[in-house]
Amino acid sequence: MNKDHSSFVLAEQKNKMMPSEIYSPPHYGIPHPGLYAHTPRPTTRQRRQKVVLRASIEAIELVILALIMFICIRSVVQNYVVMGDSMQPNFESGQFLVVNRLAYKSINTSWLPEFAEFEHSFGKPQVGEVVVFPRGGETGYDLIKRVVATGGQSIMMIDGVIYLDGRILTDPQVVRSGSGSWGPVVVPDGFVFVLGDNRSNSMDSRIFGPVSETMLVGRVDLRYWPLNSVNRISHSLD
């Protein structure tokens, strides 16, 4: 065997032993011929389907986000439309109101482990506050009335004048009901006695009795329509 042939055999054996060290020249951004020869290019239909799929996913995400926001907002506030004249002169039929649903809610985490338990109440109904609660029965609509007495208080009417715990209830905002008389009524704890501001034309606690605080949807805090009557609701009887 000559010298040149021996060198060729050694070089071949070296290449087989160290294939990872075989040098491949750079292509400088130019793909190697045949590198993508077996990768099919997407057709126009496939590209269109991909665009439609992406748009559908984005639309579904937007709908889900909007639904979550709607549920969160509705758990805090709710809008109502006044129907009828039982709350005149302070509320007219057709006016739009915002009800604060958290006004009388409470949070109780007694179901959590002892170290995480706590209880918090956002508030209790007070005399003079305007509230919304379900009417019940077959109609199922909600009513808007004003709280005139809370749990433990005594209320009565003599010749159209309201007496709360034996004292005249100052209520210049209301339309009195002439010479009507009733009571006294002692409101149970956890209940409120409600009346319409238009005392002569209102279905209220004089008919269906005190309302449980747990039935209150919330407190009316804002009137936003019509624009010339936009304002925060006053809950004072003075």
Cite the active site residues: 86, 145
* DSSP β-bridge partners for residue 133: 143
DSSP classification of residue 28 = T
DSSP classification of residue 27 = -
CA distance 170 to 172: 6
Strand positions, DSSP E, the chain: 77-81, 96-100, 106-108, 119-121, 130-134, 142-150, 154-158, 161-164, 167-168, 182-186, 191-195, 211-212, 218-225, 231-232
* DSSP β-bridge partners for residue 185: 155
**Nearest by Cα to 130 from 200, 17, 22, 234:** 234
Q: Which two tokens stand for residue 137?
A: 């029965």
DSSP letter for each residue of 110-142: TTS-GGG--EEE-----TT-EEEEE--TTT--E
Taking residue 13's Cβ as centre, other Cβ atoms within 10 Å add up to 10
* Strand 231-232 relative to strand 154-158, pairing: unpaired
